[in-house]
Amino acid sequence: MDLGRSASDLLSLEGKVAVISGGASGIGFGTAVKLAEFGARIAIFDIDEKQGRLAGKELTDLGGRARFFRCDVRDAVECKRAVNDTVSFFGRIDILFNNAGVAIRKNAVDLEPEEWDLALDVSLKGQYLLSKYIVPVMKMNGGGSIINTGSGWSLKGGPDAVSYCAMKGGTLNMTRAMAIDFGKFNIRVNCVCPGDIDTPMLQSECEQLGMNYDEEYKRSCAAGRPLERLGTPGDVANAVLFLSGRMSSWITGTYIVVDGGGIA
């Protein structure tokens, strides 16, 4: 037992490099800020070049060490290039937050085949591709931590969200499979499962359902949750921070639900 180890030391990510997909906004950017606060150098992967560069600059202005790399996570060539560029720039990768995703709010009849492909390609295929190219880098470094973004709907179904529920359910079981495969290399793989988080994605879902993203809508999303509020990107970022560092060193193949008690 190391009684001399401080909490800050246990949470410290000094010397670590974190790749965050979908890192230009929402949960991704909130997590980038949090991990940078605890010492990590941040590689922001996103398809939105303008917002990605702004996010990188904002992190740098806050005192972090960050760089934006354009990456369409659906494309193997772009994923491999972005990973190689990250290693060339930072020298290593220790943390992967597989966070890029889209939410299309339609049932199986109304959903078009190309929308199904988009939803699963951005989330499931994107998580697979980045893991494919980053796991070998982590192996050379002696280990690492992969955190996949699931959802409360990884664990239960939801209305008018067939592709979203499919990809998030797949994310959770893919997490378990990867943990089994890569544990021998000291690579931990876990899943964070947010509920409704106040982000541009939640606004998009609201508008797809024909509603106004106003305070009344936000209250309706929080209704029935024991903690009676929407989540924030920071709520999820705290869970990712825990799964990234030493405090979770014997945790792999599982999930943390961050939803204010919504599926309790």
Contact 145, 97 (CB under 8 A): no
Structure tokens at 227: 């903690």
Cα–Cα distance for residue pair 258/260, rounded to 1 Å:
6
* Neighbouring C-beta atoms of residue 162, cutoff 10 Å: 21
Strands of the 65-70 sheet, one edge to the other: 65-70, 41-46, 17-21, 95-98, 144-149, 187-194, 255-258
* Options 164, 213, 217, 255, the catalytic residue: 164
Q: What is the dihedral of CA 106, 72, 240, 196, to 10 degrees?
A: -20
The answer to whether 164 is a known catalytic residue is yes
Q: Give me the DSSP letters along 231-260.
A: B-HHHHHHHHHHHHSGGGTT--S-EEEEST
Q: What are phi and psi of 65, to 5 degrees?
A: -115, 110
> For the chain, how long is the longest CA-to-CA vector?
59
Cα–Cα distance for residue pair 1/166, rounded to 1 Å:
43
- 3-state secondary structure (DSSP) of residue 67: strand
Cα–Cα distance for residue pair 51/54, rounded to 1 Å:
5
Question: Which residues are annotated as catalytic?
Answer: 164
